[in-house]
Structure 1
Amino acid sequence: MSAPPHPNAVVLPAPIQVSPLIRFGRWAALGLGIVWGAVRLQQIKHYHADIREWEHEKAVAQAAKDAETKKWLAKDEMRYLMKVVNIPFEEGVAQFGVEDLYREE
Structure 2
Amino acid sequence: MSYPRHPNAVVLPQPIAVSPLIRFGRWAALGLGVLWGAYRLTVIREYHADIREWEHEKAVAKAAEDAKKKKWLAKDEMRYLMKVVNIPFEEGVAQFGVEDLYREE
TM-score (structure 1 length as normaliser): 0.95
Structure 2 distance, partners of 1:9, 1:86, is 98
- The alignment partner of 1:32 has SS state of helix
CA-based RMSD: 0.9
1:46 aligned onto 2:46: yes
Structure 1 runs of 4+ with >3 Å offset: none
Deviates more, 1:70-79 or 1:17-26: 17-26
Amino acid at match of 2:41: L
1:15 aligned onto 2:26: no
Structure 2 gaps of 5+ residues are none
Q: How many Å apart are 1:5 and its aligned residue?
A: 1.2
Q: How many Å apart are 1:94 and its aligned residue?
A: 0.3
Structure 1 gaps of 5+ residues are none
Aligned counterpart, 2:27: 27
Overall identity of the aligned pairs, in % = 86
Aligned counterpart, 1:68: 68
TM-score (structure 2 length as normaliser): 0.95
Amino acid at match of 2:5: P
Amino acid at match of 1:30: L
